[in-house]
Structure 1
Amino acid sequence: MSDKNLALVVGSYDDAGAASHDYDALRSGQDSGGYEIVGAVVLSRDKDGKVEVKEHGDKSVGHGAAWGAGAGVVVGLFAPPLLAATAVGAGIGAILGKIRKGREEKKLSGDLDEYLAPGTSAVVAVVDDKWADRVEKALARSDKRISRAIDADDYEKLEKALAESADDVVKQINS
């Protein structure tokens, strides 16, 4: 289990351009040393409810499979059903079930509909909780923001399971 306390920071946007701008600002703040991001994505949900990962990345990893797996961890922590619909493997399913149960117990299950309603976008970032306030401020153009504590152990288990099936996750996230 990690000694870090993690936070999931979400900014919700009616304008996809504003989400992309804040994502760039978020990455820029990390690059300038203002904070560290564990993982971040821009999600877009069309009017029919289909969710798409628009942008993703992780400063500590290069390109390729690790980028897709990192995006998968962030998506899985924000909205386990989204990842469950695309990811393959019993280990991932079991971890997502635990995360989903924990979210329901903490009354977090409405986050997807509230922060990524049809026709909107969201920037979702996982950060060490000591940086959560700075990251929230970087999402200045968002219509609303939220920061929630997440279980570092869940993060690590999901990251490991996704890394083991990284090729499948990358194909699903990028399709």
Structure 2
Amino acid sequence: MGTKNLALVVGSYDDTAAASDDYQALRSGQDAGGYEIVGAVVLVRDTDGKVQVHEHGDKTVGHGAAWGAGAGVVVGLFAPPLLAATAVGAGIGALLGKIKKSRDEKQFGVDVDEYLAPGTSAVVAVVDDKWADRVEKALDRADKRISKAIDSDDYDKLREAIEKSADDVVEQINS
């Protein structure tokens, strides 16, 4: 993965149903061969600010092995504090500290309050940057969209930390 140039593509929605519809359209576009998605999730933030992570538009993730590297990496690249609030594990915590420093230096991730304000949803995807424009256009119901370059080294390190911490995450959730 380290040789790819990656992009984070985010669409923000006032309507959760529109976010789910665009997520399904995004997956259909991939299935039709229009582009390739490394990982994608739908994030839903209630009016109290609590965030739920959905994969496949309707399946909540964050419990057991379903959390996995895919959803965790996408969330961590979008907004490291959201991953920190959802996942546990020393490896993830230490890496998120480094990513936060990196974010401050490189404008890593996006502004959560702008793209996932309370009472809104977002579709967040990680793609090879050659597909970023197509993926961004696929989110046609979004109120606003953004595409940002991702350091592939950050992606690889975060994915590895989440994979190594998966057992810790499951144990913490089940305790």
TM-score, normalised to structure 2, is 0.87
Deviations 1:76-103 (A, max 9, x none): 1111011112222222112211221222
**Root-mean-square deviation (CA), in Å?**
2.2
For 1:143 and 1:112, locate their aligned partners in 2 and report how far apart those are by CA, in whole Å: 15
1:69 equivalent in structure 2: 69
Is the alpha carbon distance of 1:108 and 1:161 closer, same or farther for their aligned partners in structure 2, counting shifts above 3 Å? closer
Residue 164 (1) aligns with residue 141 (2): no
Q: Is the 8 A contact 1:66 1:166 kept in 2?
A: no
Number of aligned residues? 167
2:61 equivalent in structure 1: none
For 1:36 and 1:172, locate their aligned partners in 2 and report how far apart those are by CA, in whole Å: 33
How is 1:12-23 mapped onto 2 (pairs within 5 angstroms)?
Answer: 12-23=12-23
For 2:152 and 2:170, locate their aligned partners in 1 and report how far apart those are by CA, in whole Å: 23
Is the alpha carbon distance of 1:44 and 1:168 closer, same or farther for their aligned partners in structure 2, counting shifts above 3 Å? farther
Measured after TM superposition, the shift of residue 166 of structure 1 is 2.1
Q: Is the 8 A contact 1:95 1:158 kept in 2?
A: yes
1:4 equivalent in structure 2: 4
Q: Is the 8 A contact 1:95 1:154 kept in 2?
A: no
Instruction: Classify the secondary structure of the residue corresponding to 2:86.
Output: coil
How is 1:31-70 mapped onto 2 (pairs within 5 angstroms)?
Answer: 31-56=31-56, 65=65, 68-70=68-70
For 1:43 and 1:83, locate their aligned partners in 2 and report how far apart those are by CA, in whole Å: 12
**Counterpart code for 1:29:** G
1:132 equivalent in structure 2: 132
For 2:29 and 2:67, locate their aligned partners in 1 and report how far apart those are by CA, in whole Å: 19
| Structure 2 gaps, min length 5 | 58-63
2:115 equivalent in structure 1: 115
- The percentage of aligned residue pairs carrying the same residue is 81
Is the alpha carbon distance of 1:22 and 1:101 closer, same or farther for their aligned partners in structure 2, counting shifts above 3 Å? same
Instruction: Classify the secondary structure of the residue corresponding to 2:142.
Output: coil
Measured after TM superposition, the shift of residue 69 of structure 1 is 2.5
Is the alpha carbon distance of 1:72 and 1:110 closer, same or farther for their aligned partners in structure 2, counting shifts above 3 Å? closer
Q: Is the 8 A contact 1:44 1:53 kept in 2?
A: yes
| Structure 1 gaps, min length 5 | 58-63
For 1:110 and 1:79, locate their aligned partners in 2 and report how far apart those are by CA, in whole Å: 6
For 2:171 and 2:143, locate their aligned partners in 1 and report how far apart those are by CA, in whole Å: 31
2:85 equivalent in structure 1: 85
For 1:147 and 1:172, locate their aligned partners in 2 and report how far apart those are by CA, in whole Å: 34
